[in-house]
Amino acid sequence: MSVSRRTLLLAGGTAATLLPLGGILPAAQAAPSAAGATPAATPIPDPIPVTGTWTRTSDGGQKAAADSRGPALALSEQQLAAKGTYAARVTPQSSSAVGALVFRAALDGSTGYAVALDPGRARIRLYDLADGDTLATAPLPGARTARPYDLEVAVDGPELTVHVDGKRLLHTEDHRHDTGSVGLLAQGGTVTFGPPSLSSVTTNLTGWTTSGGTWTASPLGWRAAPTLGATARALTTTKTYDTALQADLLLHDASAIASLLVRTDATATHGYGVQVDADQGRLRLYRIDGNVTLGTYATTIKADTVYRLRVEAERDELRVHWQTNFLSPDGYSPVITAQDSTHAKGRLAVTASAGAVSFENIAGADLATGLQGWTARSGTWTPDLRGIRGENGLRTAPFTDGDLVARADITPGGPSSSAGLVLRAFANGSGGYEARLEAGRNAVVLLDRSSGTRLASASGPVRRITAGGTYRVEARATGRTIEVYVDGVRALKTRVSRTKGAAFGTAAAHGTSYFQNVEVRSTADHFTEPYRPTYHYSQLTGSTSDPCGLLHHDGEYHLFHQDEGRWAHAVSTDLVHWQPLPIALPWNAYGHCWTGCAVVDADDTSGLFDGGSGLIAYYTSYHPDKPGGNASVRIAYSKDKGRSWQLHGGSSPAVQNPGGPDAGWTFRDPKVIRDEAHDQWLMVVSGGDHIRFFTSTDLLTWTQVSSFGYGDWAAPGVWECPDFFPLPIDGDEDKVKWVLTLSTGAVRATNGSAAQYFTGEWNGAGFSPDQKAGTVLRADSGRDYYAAMSFYGLTDDRRVWLGWISNWDYPFSAPTGGWNGQLSTPRELTLTDTADGVRLAQRPVPELVTLRTSTTTRKNLAVGPDSANPLAGARGTAYEIEAEITLGTATEIGFRLRTDDDQHTTVGYDAEAHELFVDRSASGLSDFTQYFAGRTTAPMKTTDGRVTLRVYVDSSSVEAFGADGQAAVTSLIFPGPDADGMAFYAKGGTAHIESLKVHRLDSTFRLVDRVKPLVAAPAGGEFRSNLGKLTITPAGRWSTDSAGRAGSFDKDSNAISARTATDLDLTTLVRLGGPAPDTGGALSLLWRASSDGADAYCLNIDPDLRVIRLVAKANGYFDDAKALARVPALVRRGTTYPVRILTEGDRIQVFLNGTRIIDVTDTTYADGHIALNVFGGRAAYQDTYAQEL
């Protein structure tokens, strides 16, 4: 666990579904083009043609021509979700022509809504793009050809309203689509569209009503301006019990008071509220009815400053969180806590009084799911802190694939509650099958919902099904077979008759139950995305990083790993096939749960298990509000085979930070093992440049006995993720060494990060290394092997470990979309005596052999530089190579893997350098980060000129082992899906293949044997600019698309114009993040810049930091504290902003949305280049013009 990771994860991203919103560049600020007339700026990214003929008009609109082959469709990357309006002027040019606005559409337009204006039939029509179903129609008054119509659609959750020329003509409710792209569509002729515009509110709540003033959606938040003496209220119909409501807010007036309300009523006269009162300098939590103060918090509150406010209501407890800093985020701990039982249920609202307030990112606690179109068919369904709360009812979403994998974390709420997942139901929710948990019977049941027949049942396979327990339920339906897994173990498998369906659902009966993390995939979509590993572990969604708490207990292997400061969990019976479970250790009152370990307390040494056995986890507790996180070691334990966990020790950690309860010393990543030789338990903890050793006799009380490191021992980079264990040398139990492993990061000196180890002696109190200070032994010489940890409690005395396949140069930058991160194959560790000393060797575990499906064999072949490829015709993307090669006269031998046209990854042996190497210079995608491409080597000696290699290849990784595991190189790769060829070669002479086997490997997660391409947005676009050619430095991916010139990179990437200027007027549209809502990114405009962009004036816009900064960047860096201007602003992702920079002499003015926000003087730079920048994601520029003054 590294500080850089914490900084990344705590950077203050937005939590609600991000709703894009456009802005129009005011005509007065439009920059002249080189050709003369200024092209009109487009308020949303350009619609890109999917079908038909499209021409951009001079005013920024579109002219579409549809013919008899079908409609003309164009889609923008602009998204419209819970609440907003989308509008354009539509002019059908003939009686047969129909013009439509498309919204909430899939990236390719295959699904979504369209509202069509049809003068020939004198009607408007709302319909579903997928099947053409008409949802609603209305007459079109005064219909005639070639007349322009102002067409607008407003959405508020399922409520869809259509206005034409300012008059409401149609209103209906439909639940099919929640979010998606906007676009334009023409049928039956030619249609002209004016520039489309969009406004929206960033929220995941629906059913809004407003009163008491004006509420205006803008690119900088939902602005409330209360009527004099009144309170402006925005009230949602969403009702909740236990809930959280969060918003970012900005007071425009020092007298203004902003409030969040929970559990309130339709008149907002009952319930609870928290006020932000700048005049009083406080937050106030109160019960609305009676105006009863429940708690206050004194704090300085300023106008025109962004704050994040969150109120939580859980049973009788109310908590208020207050974030004032987005660069170093605070607000983790509540500033107000109170008890009140007056109100248990109610609505959510935001209010403003005594002045104007803008709200952004208004988010309520809700279900985490990838499904759209949820509809409550019966019963009561309310968002909840635990996901979605269901009471005696059914809730469904459209899902038409019969072969599927569905999962959810289900919590029965009462002793007789039943809760389940509904598969293959009819569109109205009837019929199908239900995989159900019954708390009253301790039963897992598969129910035929048409007949009411219980097709199969079993008791809880790991623990009893009881009220309040959370169970991961997974149902797999393939053909006529349905399997049900509970707690990671298959509970049921049975045959069924119905193989098709139209809906998926959640069902609650006999009381209340809770559902969270509900995901459904067709088998064709389950772990089949590009780059998704075939047999390496990864999560369906979320982030996979440091392994934590690896152990074996009662026939199960447990894999815990990091997922943004939480412990994710999976179990296996064979180290190869893993079943995911719910998050084991979530964030808690004491902070985040960072990297650590777990052990089996088989004899109840701790006294936690009532004389039985159980699991104890030791984790790094990191509190975001405290200096340096005040890292300490805390304990959690499980009595039910790791399915539920309890914290131990209350507010007191097991091992305090060495600097004290308020110190920020580096102290993390505990690893505990049993030291049998000294009859004690042993813990190693990283201190940054040293390792601390602790011992215990009861697993709860720990005493530091020594440390190792400091000074000359400390290699570049932070020491973290240590492991410590004894191993016999060459299997001789009388010759044992202790091995201390660790990972170092994140510095360039180690190519981002490295896996290292020491060998030595342990006397029960101290470690004495065999190596001299400064000697570095690499456990894996690859770029991508980090935070490796070994399993505790393997019954056969093996030492098996696995690591995170990544590097701190690009830890979370892989271009994989909704999932991120994978783990290595499990490897068995041994020690062997070599001419250079005792060395660590690692071999993939024999359990992997079970994945082999077929084998291609070559042997006794001579191969020279001009020989034919002995592997011609062999293809694959997931396989294992075993090779024994005699070098002969060859100076280099190797394999070109994952080949296709100009793509390949080379794994080979350099006989002159005596090195195993992996070269991914041409492996595929690499421009998402700076230091990815290149060659990595490991020292490796041959025996009698013979090279032995074992290579594991997967969709996005290569693991190469040589010399019986004494050399190892692990690398990520991102080849195209068609890169499935392979070759063997020899250079400099002739080599001899003694034996070569290529074993195809089966998938451990996929249910189909293919990779499915992701749905893609239409390609194309243009960049309107007079900047000329742009040179990219230091690296990055810049392309032209719907939003203009878009850059993607994990750090700073500059697109530098050859043009230079002294005084200039620079105007542009800028766009942050997107097109996916979870895509982040900040941007900067550079001027008077050096040729590489390292020195420049820089206008930085960062939605995560909620700020716009003007800085004088020097040597590629800038100090936030030395910014020339710092303007808090509710800037957000997925939104287009017009920006103007006017620089004359030493005066710099900046305008946003037509308003001057910065006016300063500075003399740091006099002239230089103009450049565009992206940082940490994606940013785009359009209509970018610079005029020299």
Residue 503: CB atoms within 10 A of its CB come to 24
Q: For residue 815, which amino acid is it?
A: P
Question: For residue 301, what are the contacts with CB-CB under 8 A and spacing of at least 6?
Answer: 251, 276, 277, 278, 281, 282, 307
DSSP 8-state symbol, 700: S
**Dist CA 153 CA 311 (whole Å):** 33
Q: For residue 223, what are its two tokens?
A: 């602005």
Q: Give the dihedral sign, CA 218/222/223/229.
A: positive
Whose CA is closest to 478, among 376, 403, 368? Answer: 403
Residue 415: CB atoms within 10 A of its CB come to 12
**Dist CA 686 CA 689 (whole Å):** 8
**Dist CA 249 CA 307 (whole Å):** 5
Q: For residue 868, which amino acid is it?
A: A
CB 742 within 8 A of CB 769: no
Coil vs helix vs strand at 750 = helix
Whose CA is closest to 857, among 833, 874, 878, 834? Answer: 874
Residue by residue, DSSP assigns 1114-1127 as: BTTB--GGG-SEEE
Q: Give the dihedral sign, CA 457/459/460/462.
A: negative
Whose CA is closest to 155, among 82, 234, 79? Answer: 82
As a 3-state breakdown, the chain gives helix, strand, coil percent values, each rounded to 5, of 5, 55, 40
Q: For residue 275, what are its two tokens?
A: 């006020």
What values do phi and psi take at 851, rounded to 5?
Answer: -85, -10
**Dist CA 265 CA 97 (whole Å):** 48
The three-state DSSP-derived secondary structure of 239-271 is EECCEEEEEEEEECCCCCEEEEEEEECCCCCCC
Catalytic residue among 384, 409, 546, 1041: 546
CA neighbours within 13 Å on the CB side: how many for 798?
20
Coil vs helix vs strand at 748 = helix
CB 1136 within 8 A of CB 44: yes
366 in active site: no
Q: Is 1172 left (phi over 0), alpha (psi -120 to 50) or beta?
A: beta
Look at strands 579-585 and 567-572 and give their pairing: antiparallel
**Dist CA 182 CA 109 (whole Å):** 9
Whose CA is closest to 802, among 693, 957, 692, 675? Answer: 957
Q: Strands, DSSP E only, in 859-902?
A: 861-863, 879-886, 892-900
C-alpha 487: how far from chain center: 24
Angle formed at CA 615 by CA 614 and CA 616, multiple of 5 degrees: 125
Q: Which residues in 833-856 are b (16+ Cβ under 10 Å) and which e? A: eeeeebbbbbbbbebbeebeeeeb
Residue by residue, DSSP assigns 455-470 as: EEEEE-SSS---TT--
Q: For residue 619, what are its two tokens?
A: 């984790």
**Dist CA 445 CA 457 (whole Å):** 4
Residue by residue, DSSP assigns 42-89 as: PSSPPPEEEESEEEE-TTS-EEEE-BTTB-EEEEEEEEE-SEEEEEEE
C-alpha 97: how far from chain center: 43
**Dist CA 656 CA 669 (whole Å):** 13
Could you give the residue numbers annotated as active site?
546
